[in-house]
Structure 1
Amino acid sequence: MSKRRNVCVIGCGISGLSVAKLLQQHEFNVTIVSESDPRIIHSDPTFSSLFPAASVIPRSVNSGEIDSLFEESLSHFDALHEQQFPGLKIHEHFELFASGKDLPGYAQYMDAFSTLEEFRDSFHPTHSGLAIQAGWKFNCYFADWSLYYPALLNSVLEAGAELQIQSLEKDDLRDLPFDIVVNCSGLGSVELFNDPNGLLYRGHLLQILEAPMLKNPNGDTVSYNFSPGAEIYHTESGNAQDVYFYPRSDGWILGGSRQEGRLDEHGIWTGEQTISPNIEIDGTVIPEQIFTLHKNILYETFGMELDRFTKRKVKVGYRYLRKKEEGLRLETEEIHNRLFIHNYGHGGAGVTLSWGCAEKVRQLLRKNVS
């Protein structure tokens, strides 16, 4: 384009920032409107980009475009990694199961993918009481959140984006002083854009502070997911749960949970509750399995005593996932005689698909703006 165009991005999570960064690189002036100030540490569970596991793996999202979006994202992560962008790392990641499991559709895209049969006799995470029956490993990108998110935010602001801290209501959309608006508001889209097609999940993360990075015998950083079976770990409605482990520069992230529900008119969680067995850590009740399963695996695999690390924090966050029949929303809409481009409903794949979705937004802009 011959002159810079002005665009408003609603939302300052990973989707909004990725869109802003990419549009800046293609000669757009960007204003970001965010209800929460991302420069201030707070515990708002609706601001999901404060609570990501941040592995680049295409799971927990509904879309017929996942393959193309993921491939596009990978190309951007490749470039960022080559540039040594802060916090972007590569893990040897294991996904392990106490029962049989079919290979995932993303197997073809993951570097150095191999199945349990190929590495059963070599290093991999283990549990003393639960035999691993199926699984795979691969190398994947991981965004070390305490480094990656602030670096991305700073790069967008330093490139000239204006950040406006403002809580938007539906009626405010008419008065936004922009011809082009990109909606990356996530859960906020339910009210702002009358979208009834979402599912809300609550997740618990246990952060172990001042814990070391954990490596395999070759010196590569290791992370894992482990599914022990529904008889060991399930939600109130009986859905099987898994736990995951990611080492970061500020400690370990131990997850997780996936409880389905909604928020009432006061923003209070209504839905599946944390059932027994549970424990209270940092003033919050979490499923006990998040602690006990990791405790066993970390000791059996790395000789690490989880009880040694007493500095702990619990984070509770929400993930907004659109239903399968609707799926991730990446499309245009005309509202109040201006162009809106929607980019939300990523579920647990916000980081994973961030750059692919940002590129799709750019393409939609090019197609609809002369």
Structure 2
Amino acid sequence: MAAGERVVVVGAGVAGLTTAVVLAEAGASVHVIAEQVPGVTSLAAGAMWGPYLVEPKDKVDRWGQRSLEIFRELAEDPATGVRLTSGIEASRTAEAPPDWATALPGFRPCGPAELPAGFSTGYRFTVPLIDMPTYLDYLLRRLDAAGGTVERRRLASLLEADPATVIVNCTGLGAKDLLPDPGLRPIRGQHVVVTNPGLTEFFSEDTGLSPDLLCFYPHGETVVLGGTAIDGEGGVASDDDAVAGILARCAEVEPRLAAARVLEHRIGARPTRATVRVEADRRENGAVVVHNYGHGGAGVTLSWGCADEVRRLVGLTLLGPTAEE
């Protein structure tokens, strides 16, 4: 990548900020444009690393592994909001473990005594947990240190991001109308943040395609409880019935949570499509756009791997198909 080339990244969720950091640290002059900084959907994430329910599998596996490597490094610095945490993923039916989990440190099947009532199988492993408000602030600081700039502005078209050598589209659900992309749809997610009654390990249920999720992720003095996955709904107003369901499901597994004080509701709309889109596109006016969106509920999990892919595509755009990084 030629040093100083102007790249505009549209979107300031975890995909946009991570991509901006990678490009700025590679030598590009990066300018981020976004209506919300940081993005609301990314702020609402739980967030635990795990490439779940997202395609295409071969690329997702590669992108997820790259992100896992970096999250492990970031976990060495408490200021990043990333911690390596042990816990259990369990199922109420006899299920094989997800293939991405079997290679994680400490992976082993749970004995019956380790599982809550009603669960038939479970697996213990250690995985990165990310406290999203802290982590997104860290990414903004890192971008600033690399010389990147941020502008809060709503775009009606990607062409409004000019002048730029390359525009990187990290608009998440906004791409549905901005491009447009009719294959993009929202999946509404809601989490509840409560005081931590002493939990140090995570718990997650493999609920498959159910809209009612069950997970809790401890982040120091707080715990993020989840959750919901309402396909086709993109509203971000709090749903009291959903909150009651989340609290009841989590307290049934971990009774100490029943007395925890609710601190905050976090709601976002996961940008979901049949496959994650990371590719370059030349517009009719000659502008080059590199897309990086459609990560569903795996935006954090894939963030660093997809950002590296964008860096490669931007390099090819600027230097040609024979360029070597």
Same-fold status (TM-score > 0.5): yes
Q: CA deviation at 1:289?
A: 3.1
What pairs with 1:201-350 in structure 2 (closer than 5 Å)? 201-208=187-194, 210-215=195-200, 222-227=201-206, 239=210, 241-262=212-233, 284-286=240-242, 288-299=244-255, 304=256, 306-323=257-274, 327-335=275-283, 336-350=285-299
Deviations 1:73-93 (A, max 9, x none): 122223323455521101113
C-alpha distance in structure 2 between counterparts of 1:58 and 1:228, whole Å: 15
3-state SS in 1 of match to 2:297: coil
Aligned to 1:188: 174
Corresponding letter in the other structure for 2:171: S
CA separation of 1:95 and 1:307: change in aligned 2, threshold 3 A: closer
Contact map agreement 1:227 1:241 (CA 8 A) in 2: no
CA distance in 2, matches of 1:211, 1:84: 18
Q: Is the 8 A contact 1:213 1:248 kept in 2?
A: no
Deviations 1:110-136 (Å, cap 9, x if unpaired)? Answer: 2221123xx334xx3524xx2x21121
Distance 2:243 2:317 in 1: 48
Deviation at 1:30, TM superposition (A): 0.7
Partner of 1:34: 34
Quick check: which one's helix share is greater? Answer: 2
AA aligned opposite 1:126: P
Change (3 A) 1:174 1:311: closer
Is the contact between residue 201 and residue 258 of structure 1 (CA under 8 Å) also seen in structure 2? Answer: yes
Match for residue 179 of structure 1 among 165, 169, 174: 165
1:139 aligns with 2:126: yes
Tell me whether 1:66 sits opposite 2:60 in the alignment.
yes
Name the counterpart of 1:89. 83
Tell me, in whole angstroms, the C-alpha distance in 2 between the residues paired with 1:26 and 1:134. 45
In the other structure, the counterpart of 1:49 is 42
What is the letter of the counterpart of residue 146 of structure 1? Answer: P
Distance across 2 between alignment mates of 1:3 and 1:9: 16
Q: 1:250 to 1:161 in 2, by over 3 A?
A: farther
Partner of 1:3: 3
Partner in structure 2 of residue 153 of structure 1: 140
How many angstroms does 1:103 deviate by? 2.3
Counterpart in 2 of 1:103?
97
Q: Greater Rg, structure 1 or structure 2? A: 1
| Structure 1 residue ranges without an equivalent (≥5) | 39-45, 216-221, 270-281
Q: Secondary structure at the match of 1:112?
A: coil
1:212 offset after TM fit, Å?
A: 4.3
- How far residue 142 of structure 1 moved from its aligned partner, in angstroms, is 1.0
- State the SS of the aligned residue for 1:111: coil
Do 1:24 and 1:30's aligned partners in 2 also have CA atoms closer than 8 Å?
yes
Alignment check: 8 A CA contact 1:125 1:224 kept: no
Change in CA separation of 1:358 and 1:85 when aligned onto 2, cut-off 3 Å:
farther
Could you tell me how far 1:290 is from its partner in structure 2? 1.4
- Compared CA separation, residues 164 and 126, structure 1 to 2 (3 A): same
Give the distance between the partners of 2:308 and 2:207, measured in 1 at CA.
37
Deviations 1:229-272 (A, max 9, x none): 9xxxx9xxxx4633110111351111111111145xxxx58xxx
Report what 1:272 is aligned to.
none
Q: Secondary structure at the match of 2:278?
A: strand
Q: CA deviation at 1:223?
A: 0.3
- State the Cα RMSD in Å: 2.4
Contact 1:144/1:249 (8 A) holds in 2: no
| AA of the residue aligned to 1:199 | R
Output the CA distance in 2 between the equivalents of 1:144 and 1:86: 8
Distance between the aligned counterparts of 2:315 and 2:215, measured in 1?
39
Contact 1:146/1:250 (<8 A) preserved: no
TM-score between the two structures when normalised by the length of structure 1 = 0.79
TM-score (norm 2): 0.89
1:283, CA displacement in angstroms? 7.3
| Aligned position for 2:322 | none
Contact in 2 for aligned 1:146/1:249 (Cα 8 Å): no
Q: Deviations over 1:50-80 (max 9, x none)?
A: 2001111111322231111111112222332
The one-letter amino acid paired with 1:355 is W
Identical residues among aligned pairs (%): 28
